Amino acid sequence: MGEWRHRHLLGLEDLSREDIMMILETAKSFKQVSAREVKKVPALRGKTVATFFFEPSTRTRTSFELAAKRLSADTLNITGSPSSLSKGETVLDTVKNIEAMSVDLIVVRHASAGVPHMLAQKAKSSIINAGDGCRSHPTQALLDMFTIHERLGRIEGLNVTIVGDILHSRVARSNIIGLTKMGAKVTVCGPSTLMPIDIEKMNTKVSYNLKEAIQDADVIILLRLQMERQKDKYLPSLREYARKFGLNKTKLEKYAKKNVLIMHPGPTNRGIELSAEVADGEYSVILDQVTNGVAVRMAVLYLLLGAKSKPAPRKSTKKENTSMTNQGTINVTTH
């Protein structure tokens, strides 16, 4: 396996195919850690990871926090939006202040695209983008790819259809970039008003017809439809959206291939983009995604923090019976 060279994870466009494979392989061995009775390895002992969410989030923040804790890093959670900004403190100021307390890595989520880039330019710590505006959500796409790979054994050559509000979706953009990079064929499907201009230039097919969009799909990723879109006049009604773009059991069985994977980044709007039957049904891997999210985030944290530091002097009095050492090296089984 190659060498990890990145200090930040801002978006998948910065990663090569090999980088992505390295993350997925690393995540595979970390997934075993979460299955153990003692769910902890000392890989990032002594490191401090701050999650800094300027936008409300439960699952992504929790997933990162758990990932850091399972690697023995100290964690710090800051929810930034109302408190600091109302005091007139800029994002940059706030982050610099946190950094002044010797934080090694900042996981940031912000409603504005490009904020992780701004921080990466000015901050000394590593930055992981946990979602910036409508632009990018790299760890979500990575965990989606991990889940697909785990279930289907490959990504290359698969047909993946993403359904929903593509215009406002960072999950869609990151998945398009990641999946096409790994050799999958991506189709996006949704109402025309929620389709960003020139999306075809990101190497996707566009469809406004759910049946047509899912009939060849090996994987269907459904996106959450924000209720505000109707208020903002993008849609005539949620009822019509559910009828034309929502996925229920009847449509799934009628149009889609057998054994298709149903994915959703969560939280789901049951009854809108998918029915409860589909969300909880046999094709759904939605909870696998959540489980895999921790492993993938462990891998990213480990690669960004573990790989860049120089190995410390090796101590021989080591009791850990894992494939990991204090020095942050890891033996990954590849096949």
Partner 1 sequence: MSLLIKNAIIVNADKMHKEPQDIWIEKGVITKIAPSIKNGTDKMIDAKGKLVMPGLIDIHVHLRQPGREDKETIETGSKAAVKGGFTTIMCMPNTNPVIDNGMIVESIIKEAKRVGLCHVIPIGSITRGQKDEELVDMFEMKEAGCLALSDDGRSVVNSQLMRFAMQYAKMAGLLLIQHCEDPLLSSGGVMNESAVSTKLGLKGHAGIAETVIIARDIELARYLNASVHIAHMSLRRSVDLVRRAKAEGIRVTAEACPHHFTLTDEAVSSFDTAAKVNPPLRTQDDVEAIKEGLKDGTIDCIVTDHAPHTEEDKEVEFDHAPFGMIGLETSVGLTISELVHKKVLSWPQMVERMSARPAEIVGLTNKGRLAEGLDGDITIIDPEKEWIFKREEIASKSKNSPFIGRKMKGMVEATIVGGKISYQVQ
Q: Which residues bind partner 1 (CB under 8 A)?
A: 90-92, 110-115, 117-118, 132-136, 170, 173, 196-199, 201-202
Q: Which is nearer to partner 1, 111 or 227 (CB)?
A: 111
Nearest distance in Å: CB 318, partner 1: 44
C-alpha span between 164 and 186 (Å, rounded)? 14
Nearest distance in Å: CB 200, partner 1: 9
SS (H, E, C) the chain: CCCCCCCCECCHHHCCHHHHHHHHHHHHHHHHHHHCCCCCCCCCCCCEEEEEECCCCCHHHHHHHHHHHHCCCEEEEEECHHHHHHCCCCHHHHHHHHHCCCCCEEEEEECCCCHHHHHHHHCCCEEEEEEECCCECHHHHHHHHHHHHHHHCCCCCCEEEEECCCCCCHHHHHHHHHHHHCCCEEEEECCHHHCCCCHHHHCEEEECCHHHHHCCCCEEEECCCCCHHHHCCCCCCHHHHHHHHCECHHHHHHHCCCCCEEECCCCCCECCCECHHHHCCCCECHHHHHHHHHHHHHHHHHHHHHCCCCCCCCCCCCCCCCCECCCCCECCCCC
Q: Which is nearer to partner 1, 28 or 173 (CB)?
A: 173
Nearest distance in Å: CB 167, partner 1: 9
Q: Which is nearer to partner 1, 188 or 272 (CB)?
A: 188
Q: Which is nearer to partner 1, 75 or 129 (CB)?
A: 129
Q: Which is nearer to partner 1, 171 or 286 (CB)?
A: 171
Could you give the C-alpha distances from 291 to 12, 27, 88, 169, 173, in angstroms and in order?
21, 11, 38, 22, 22
Nearest distance in Å: CB 240, partner 1: 22
Nearest distance in Å: CB 169, partner 1: 9
Nearest distance in Å: CB 90, partner 1: 6
Q: Are the C-beta atoms of residues 175 and 204 closer than 8 Å to each other?
A: no
Q: Which is nearer to partner 1, 98 or 134 (CB)?
A: 134
Q: Which is nearer to partner 1, 196 or 281 (CB)?
A: 196
Q: Which is nearer to partner 1, 199 or 301 (CB)?
A: 199
Nearest distance in Å: CB 177, partner 1: 9
Residue 322: CB atoms within 10 Å: 16
Nearest distance in Å: CB 220, partner 1: 22
